[in-house]
Structure 1
Amino acid sequence: MYSFKLIRCTALFFIAGIITKSVKAQSADSLIYPDEKHFKNIQQLTFNGDNAEAYWSYDDKQVIFQRKYEKEGIMCDRMFIGNIPEKGKQFVFKQLSSGLGRTTCGYFLPGGTEVVYASTHLGGDSCPPVPDRAQYGNRYLWPVYGSYDIFLADTSGKIIKQLTKTNGYDAEATLSPDGKKMIFTSDRNGDLDLYVMDLATEKVMQITHELGYDGGAWFSPDGTKIIWRASRPKTPEDIKDYKDLLSKGLVAPTQMEVFIANADGSHQQQITSLGQANWAPNFTPDGKRIIFCSNYEYKHGFPFNMYLMNLDGSGLEKISHGNGFDAFPMFSYDGKKLMFSSNRSSGGGYDINLFMVDWEE
């Protein structure tokens, strides 16, 4: 949903008028750290701003991502799409969303001509306010804006349909492999839970019910399982804190673990017990393992690296070895490449850029 920083009506036509070329394609394997044995032929796709949640089209030819770059007047996340470049070529991308409100979590439908994403534009043209962390002891917090709804749009930017219409937060959507079902997070029943929508009928089913934040869910490649991140407050103090923050449209994403279940929500199991923030989970293309992001090795909460794990929680393997931020991994559907967001080229600075590597087992 959101990238961790260092400490830090219905027929609306979207204007896809901003077209951007990355400064140059980066292929220097100096950006691959020692022990990153699965990475080869790294390509840096973006070179400034905060670029995150880059997800492949089903044919591996395009990517959709969210971007914020105040120097370009992009004051909060907007949705962008671009074609995957050949090695050594520039990454050319264009703005998909209108620039009204804030957007998050874009995802292609099969065919590559339509996408879903969440937007706050029905709640106002401006970027929604960010939390004042000083009011909460300078804790790291995620806002869960009640103005977020999920929309279906084509790749020219035209909104085709508003998919969610309930009051409150609806976001973090991804699709089943056949594109027929959408899994997303909503607080429509008073807590942040997972829901599945049949896109043909728009019938919605709630599939998690335990107190805590359930989000960032993905279907397995065969569509039979789901994986997601969740918080599970247990003590009276933690429960009160979670509920108090949620009543203000906030969550503290510093204690999360990865869960797996059948696609209908049955047989839920926690598969990480590492402590701290374990999030952005996704399946490997063969469906036999997961890849996720964690800061569990570092007591002060940073850096974040990516890890592999078997579906039963065994076989933990560290994949990235940076000293900053590596997250939001997604394999191409053919399993040959990995896309992720990182600040590895900015010397640990604030810019979060998109990187693509050839994947080697």
Structure 2
Amino acid sequence: MKNFTQPINLSGGLPFARNLLATACFLVMAQAGAAGFITDAKQVSGQEVRSGEGYYRADGNWLVYQAEVAGENPFYQIYLKNLANENVQQISPGIGKTTCSWVHPSQEKVLFSSTHDDPEAKAKMVAEIEQRKSGQRRAYAWDYDEFYDIYEADFEGKNIKNLTNTKGYDAEASWSPDGKLIAFASNRRAYSEPLTEEETALFNNNPSSLIDIYIMDADGSNVKRLTHTNRYDGGPFFSPDGKRIVWRRFSENGQEAEIFTMNIDGSDQKQLTRLNKMSWAPFYHPSNQYIIFAANVEGHRNFELYVVDVDSKKEPVRVTEEEGFDGLPVFTPDGQYITWTSDRTPDKKGHLFHGKWNHEKALESLGLK
């Protein structure tokens, strides 16, 4: 386990990062969001090779995120930041790949997905390092590794427990606001259930095509499938009141995605966006009035942040204006700040950014005032 200090300073005396202080030369001023949605934006990571997808605990005192740190493992690992004293603890074992972490709302537990139980995990790490040394660059593609399982661990990265232990991609998990349920994405049925000829062909061509949203109890029991399509349904998050789930559904060709919400039993599925672009990574504002997400409306590789009201009565409104990638947005628990992942850096690699969020402007722009 690694315990070290990263240049992620979200403290300043108050739990919800009300005073973002600059830390050494790694902090870079970023442009304000479109029409002032985001102000005082700063880069808050940089010591790592790359980092992103950070999430807060309900009390605002902890931030969990994934980062690639130079060393023998070229893949992301999971880190937990204590925002009061700046200490960072590695949570994941350091073997294999990890993704999609979350902090329990009240207990000292972290949720994440990992392939560390894959017998070939170390061999795959070595192969990835050699691939990078060769100078050959592969086109970006997300890895739906069948050895991904969902784990929980304590704040020291110990007492690791496998909650899914099922062949197939189990990832993209988050606890409900009361900590009693977990929503996640999985293509497990492709490995355990009979498939039609069409489904078999789809899965062989693209393993993500059979990924659906599932829900289970926090101990991994009572697993229930919520979506039933031959498209990629993923990235689920609970609403602040715990009554609904927001997620993104890919098109049949996998080139587009739209934002949806539904009740936690899978009923009342509603489509919120119709942009015919890649809209993904949706996240509720704590007010439960609107959702923020990323979309490439401005160009294939130019992802910007947008907001849409929870009833989709108005077209989504653009939030950021910066060439490149802005995505994976989350709000601090008090809704006054926003943290997201962006490559608006000199090295063009993803890092965490943080800024003041203009809630009143968001309400006004969506006609909610």
CA-atom RMSD in angstroms: 2.3
Asked whether 1:95 is paired with 2:90, we answer yes
- Residues 264-283 of structure 1 correspond to what in structure 2 (within 5 A)? 264-283=265-284
Asked whether 1:227 is paired with 2:224, we answer no
- Residue 260 of structure 2 corresponds to 259
Amino acid at match of 1:352: G
- Residue 178 of structure 1 corresponds to 178
- Residues 156-195 of structure 1 correspond to what in structure 2 (within 5 A)? 156-190=156-190, 191-195=210-214
Structure 1 residue runs of 4 or more that deviate by more than 6 Å after TM superposition = none
SS of residue in 2 equivalent to 1:143: coil
SS of residue in 2 equivalent to 1:42: strand
The change in CA–CA distance for 1:296 and 1:21 in structure 2 (over 3 A counts) is: same
Residue 112 of structure 1, CA deviation:
4.8
| 1:212-254 residue CA offsets vs partner (Å, 9 max, x unmatched) | 0011001100111111011131xxxx4xxxxxxxxxxxxx5x3
Amino acid at match of 2:116: H
- Residue 114 of structure 2 corresponds to 119
- Residue 288 of structure 2 corresponds to 287
- For residues 34 and 186 of structure 2, the distance between their equivalents in structure 1, rounded to whole angstroms, comes to 39
Residue 180 of structure 1, CA deviation:
0.4
Residue 159 of structure 1, CA deviation:
3.1
- Residue 207 of structure 2 corresponds to none
Residue 29 of structure 1, CA deviation:
8.5
- For residues 259 and 267 of structure 2, the distance between their equivalents in structure 1, rounded to whole angstroms, comes to 15
- Residue 8 of structure 1 corresponds to none
- Residue 22 of structure 2 corresponds to 26
The change in CA–CA distance for 1:205 and 1:337 in structure 2 (over 3 A counts) is: same
- For residues 84 and 315 of structure 1, the distance between their equivalents in structure 2, rounded to whole angstroms, comes to 36
Structure-2-length-normalised TM-score: 0.79
- For residues 274 and 176 of structure 1, the distance between their equivalents in structure 2, rounded to whole angstroms, comes to 28
SS of residue in 2 equivalent to 1:185: strand
Residue 40 of structure 1, CA deviation:
2.6
- For residues 33 and 101 of structure 2, the distance between their equivalents in structure 1, rounded to whole angstroms, comes to 32
SS of residue in 2 equivalent to 1:40: strand
- For residues 55 and 159 of structure 1, the distance between their equivalents in structure 2, rounded to whole angstroms, comes to 21
Residue 84 of structure 1, CA deviation:
2.6
- Residue 326 of structure 1 corresponds to 326
- Residue 9 of structure 1 corresponds to none
Contact 1:22 1:92 in 2 (8 A): no
Contact 2:34 2:318 in 1 (8 A): no
Residue 297 of structure 1, CA deviation:
2.3
Contact 1:57 1:112 in 2 (8 A): no
SS of residue in 2 equivalent to 1:75: coil
Structure 2: 5+ residue runs without aligned partners? 10-20, 132-137, 191-209, 360-369
- For residues 29 and 360 of structure 1, the distance between their equivalents in structure 2, rounded to whole angstroms, comes to 21
- Residue 248 of structure 1 corresponds to none
- For residues 255 and 34 of structure 1, the distance between their equivalents in structure 2, rounded to whole angstroms, comes to 24
The change in CA–CA distance for 1:206 and 1:117 in structure 2 (over 3 A counts) is: same
Instruction: State the identity %.
Output: 32
Residue 44 of structure 1, CA deviation:
2.3
Q: How many residues align?
A: 313
- Residue 44 of structure 1 corresponds to 43
Contact 1:96 1:155 in 2 (8 A): yes
Ranked by relative contact order (alpha carbons within 8 Å, sequence separation 6 or more), the top structure is: 1
The change in CA–CA distance for 1:183 and 1:338 in structure 2 (over 3 A counts) is: same
- Residue 302 of structure 2 corresponds to 303
The change in CA–CA distance for 1:46 and 1:34 in structure 2 (over 3 A counts) is: closer
- For residues 28 and 357 of structure 2, the distance between their equivalents in structure 1, rounded to whole angstroms, comes to 13
Residue 110 of structure 1, CA deviation:
2.0
Residue 73 of structure 1, CA deviation:
4.1
- Residue 233 of structure 2 corresponds to 214
Residue 170 of structure 1, CA deviation:
0.6
Residue 182 of structure 1, CA deviation:
0.1
- Residues 48-67 of structure 1 correspond to what in structure 2 (within 5 A)? 48-67=48-67
- Residue 80 of structure 1 corresponds to 79
Moved more, 180-189 or 109-118: 109-118
Amino acid at match of 1:280: A
| 1:281-318 residue CA offsets vs partner (Å, 9 max, x unmatched) | 011111111100010222xx021110011123324211
Amino acid at match of 2:356: D
Structure-1-length-normalised TM-score: 0.80
Residue 195 of structure 1, CA deviation:
0.6
- Residues 124-163 of structure 1 correspond to what in structure 2 (within 5 A)? 124=119, 125-126=121-122, 127=124, 140-163=140-163
| 1:181-203 residue CA offsets vs partner (Å, 9 max, x unmatched) | 00001111122111100125711
Amino acid at match of 2:45: T
- For residues 151 and 95 of structure 1, the distance between their equivalents in structure 2, rounded to whole angstroms, comes to 14
Contact 1:293 1:306 in 2 (8 A): yes
- For residues 297 and 275 of structure 1, the distance between their equivalents in structure 2, rounded to whole angstroms, comes to 12
- For residues 358 and 107 of structure 2, the distance between their equivalents in structure 1, rounded to whole angstroms, comes to 26
- For residues 249 and 262 of structure 2, the distance between their equivalents in structure 1, rounded to whole angstroms, comes to 12
